[in-house]
Amino acid sequence: MKILVVGSGGREHAISWKLAQSDSVDEVICVPGNGGTATEAKCRNINPADCDYTVDLKGIDAVSQVASFEQVDMVVVGPENPLAEGIADQIWQCRIPVVGPKFKGAELEASKDTAKSFMKKYGVASAASETFTDAESAAAYIKKHGAPIVIKADGLAAGKGVVVAPDEKTALAAVKDFMQDNTLGKAGSKLVIEDYLQGVEISVMAAVSVTPELAAAGKACILPFVPARDHKRLLDGAKGPNTGGMGAVTPLSDVTDEQMKLFDENIVQPTLKGLIAEKWDYRGFIFFGVMLCKDGPKLLEYNVRLGDPETQALLPLMDCDFAEMCTAIADVQQTGTLKAFAPKFKWKKGFVCSPVAVSGGYPAAYEKGKEIHLPETKDAAVKIFIAGADYSKDDKQKLVTTGGRVLAASAFGDSFEKAYELAYKTMEKISFDKMFYRKDIGLPGAAESGEL
Ligand code: AMP
Ligand code: GLY
């Protein structure tokens, strides 16, 4: 089987690596991939910008062209942007199976207002909210409601669209920023304003295979993964500015079975009911961003893809054939293959700790082009996933930084302590100029408490 993976981050390196481990996979084509996928076994990077057969094509059109030209058997989409642009609809039209929801389902991430309406309509536990399309009514609501309060830009904003405001002044400034100064462009022209939730956050991904045909046959399916946690703040102890994620850990010993039961009852099942009732074609992954509150888990957001950096921790823990799982999700014949796959869906007994190394200065301005030195490691419990790094154009042997989040060092251990120790021992052997990483991924006190 030949599989095309869309994306260029650490998540896509992890996806490609896990797919390549399957005996059924001959080749993984990474579009465009990065310095990690460039040297991964069975993987080949293709940048549409360098292909003579994608001339004049850009974005999702170029990716579809590569998929057709290369005659791939399946496409797995990593990031949200191509999904929001309808890449799944387009590639299914080329008769190639896709893991990733079609345009309608992708709105659950592309529009916070759509997501909140869906949550309300189907009784998914979440914070009370109102949607506004003009700054005056938004400001009046904030003054009446008081702080703390959370202001969310409706559209995709690369993690910059949410302000958790401890006071009215910050909330009003966010409204001005998004709606009057248009700092996020069109993404901020509509706002969701929601109640502040106190608690600790977890990320739960799930494999989803829902279509009207599957639903009619009673075979629509959603299979949640074990919970994971991203650490979004830059500094130890959950301090400093927000980032794209400084590391992840899975599973979580601080989450109880009772909380997971409530999560299933009040978030997962109503979501499944909603996907069926909307008659969407949702064959892909869904990500539940959850706040564990005193009165039970509440949904903060849906993402329509796997998390980054959670995937870099989850896939090394996954103890089943990921290509088989992806094929079951896409379920070309719509016979209920994901449901049939469920008994094979297993996790290794143990933990994965996956700290992320970033460029000095990140999330503000940082320099690129720093040479990365990686250790030779033959330890099967360790995997370094490359995110913002690629081979130098002048020296094809030299791996250099190209982004803020550069790599993740994922380590498996049969206890969290062992996973943590191995991950950080590996991190100490990696170097590049101005490299920075948090030292407390997965430790007590590293999770955001949600306290303002
Ligand atoms: P979102 O993109 O909606 O997940 O928001 C980004 C981050 O903002 C979340 O991961 C939370 O840390 C925080 N957040 C979002 N909504 C709320 C809320 N209602 N209460 C407290 N924190 C929130
Ligand atoms: N780790 C959060 C996300 O992928 O959106």
Summarize pLDDT for 183-223 with one digit per residue, the tens: 898 888 899 999 999 999 999 999 999 999 999 999 999 99
**Residue with the two structure tokens 């790599």:** 407
What is the pLDDT, as a whole number, of residue 448? 80
Signed CA dihedral, 165, 169, 171, 177: sign only: negative
**Mean pLDDT, residues 6-33:** 98
Contact 253, 416 (CB under 8 A): yes
pTM (2 d.p.): 0.97
For residue 55, is pLDDT > 90? no
For ligand 2, atom 4: residue with the closest CA: 307
Q: In the CATH scheme, what is the code of domain 2-100?
A: 3.40.50.20
Quick check: CB of 201 below 6 Å from ligand 1? yes
CATH class of this structure's domain 349-445: alpha beta
Question: Residue 164 Cα, ligand 1 centroid: separation in angstroms?
Answer: 7
Contact 207, 398 (CB under 8 A): no
Q: For residue 101, what are its two tokens?
A: 């929801």
- To the nearest whole percent, how much of the chain has pLDDT over 70? 99
How many CB atoms sit inside 10 A of residue 226's CB? 16
Is there a contact between 372 and 432 (Cβ–Cβ < 8 Å)? yes
**Is the CB–ligand 1 distance for residue 197 below 6 Å?**
yes
Specify which residues 11 forms β-bridges with.
none
Q: Which ligand is nearest to the CA of 307?
A: 2
User: Average pLDDT for residues 231-253, to the nearest whole number?
Assistant: 95
Closest-CA residue, ligand 2 atom 3, reads 307
> Is ligand 1 within 6 A of the CB of residue 289?
yes
How many Cα neighbours within 13 Å face the side chain of 158?
Answer: 4
| Amino acid sitting at position 155 | G
Is residue 88 pLDDT above 70, yes or no? yes
The answer to whether the 200-348 and 349-445 domains have the same CATH topology is: no
Closest C-alpha to ligand 1, atom 3: 301
Which CATH number fits the domain 200-348, given the four candidates 2.60.40.10, 3.90.420.10, 3.40.50.300, 3.30.470.20? 3.30.470.20
Cβ 415 vs Cβ 351: under 8 Å: yes
Would the CB of 308 count as within 6 Å of ligand 2? yes
Average pLDDT, the chain: 96
C-beta separation of 300 from 197 below 8 A? yes
* Ligand 1 pocket member 230 (CB < 6 A): no
Torsion over CA: 20, 22, 25, 26 (sign)? positive
Q: Where do the domains of the chain lie?
A: 2-100, 128-195, 200-348, 349-445
- Summarize the confidence of residues 236-244 as an average pLDDT: 93
For residues 38 and 30, give the distance between their C-alpha atoms in angstroms, rounded to a whole number.
8
Q: How many CB atoms lie within 10 A of CB 225?
A: 25
DSSP 270: H
Confidence of residue 450 (pLDDT cuts 50, 70, 90): low
Q: Which residue has the tokens 């600790």?
A: 200
Query: What's residue 158's pLDDT?
Result: 83
Atom of ligand 1 nearest to the CA of 197: 20
CATH code at 128-195: 3.30.1490.20
CB-CB neighbours of 206 under 10 Å: 18
pLDDT tens digits, 308-340: 999 999 999 999 999 999 999 999 999 999 999
pLDDT at 56: 85
Which tokens hold the place of 161?
């669209």
Taking alpha carbons only, the member of 68, 70, 62 closest to residue 44 is 70
Q: Find the 42 Cα to ligand 1 centroid distance in Å.
A: 38
CA 209, CA 272: separation in Å to the nearest integer? 10
> Please, are residues 129 and 193 in contact by the beta-carbon 8 Å criterion?
yes
- What pLDDT, on the 0 to 100 scale, is given for residue 422? 98
CA of 451 to the centre of ligand 1 (A): 12
Rounded to the nearest angstrom, the distance between the alpha carbon of 226 and the centre of ligand 2 is 15
How many Å lie between the centroid of ligand 1 and the Cα of residue 79? 19
Q: Who's near 11: CB < 8 A, 6+ residues apart? A: 78, 79, 306, 307, 308, 309, 311, 312
Q: Is 162 in the pocket of ligand 1 (CB under 6 A)?
A: yes
Q: Are 408 and 388 in contact (CB under 8 A)?
A: no
Cα–Cα distances in angstroms (integers) from residue 237 to residues 28, 147, 391, 449, 450, in the given order? 38, 24, 34, 10, 12
Provide the pLDDT for residue 451.
Answer: 58
CA of 240 to the centre of ligand 1 (A): 16
In this structure, the number of other CB atoms found within 10 A of the CB of residue 233 comes to 18
Nearest CA to ligand 1 atom 1: 301
Instruction: Kindly tell me if the per-residue pLDDT of 396 is higher than 90.
Output: no
Q: Which residue has the tokens 């955001």?
A: 448
Does position 449 have pLDDT exceeding 80, yes or no? no
Q: Which residues contact 78 (CB under 8 A, 6 or more apart)?
A: 5, 6, 7, 9, 11, 12, 15, 305, 306, 308
CA distances from residue 13 to 29, 117, 151, 183 in whole angstroms, order as listed: 11, 34, 33, 32
- What is the Cα–Cα distance from 15 to 78, expressed in whole angstroms? 8
Number of Cβ atoms within 10 Å of the Cβ of 32: 19
pLDDT at 452 over 60: no
d(CA 384, CA 374): 9
Pocket probe for ligand 2: among 203, 250, 314, the residue whose CB has the most ligand atoms within 8 Å is 203
Tokens standing for residue 33: 């991939």
Q: 16-25, 47-56, 141-150 — which is least confidently predicted?
A: 47-56
Summarize the confidence of residues 139-164 as an average pLDDT.
Answer: 93
Q: Measured between alpha carbons, how far is 250 from 203 in angstroms, rounded to an integer?
A: 10
Q: How many residues does the chain have?
A: 452
Q: Whose CA is nearest to atom 13 of ligand 1?
A: 164
CA–CA gap between residue 444 and residue 191 (Å, rounded): 34
- Which two tokens mark 31? 């579009």
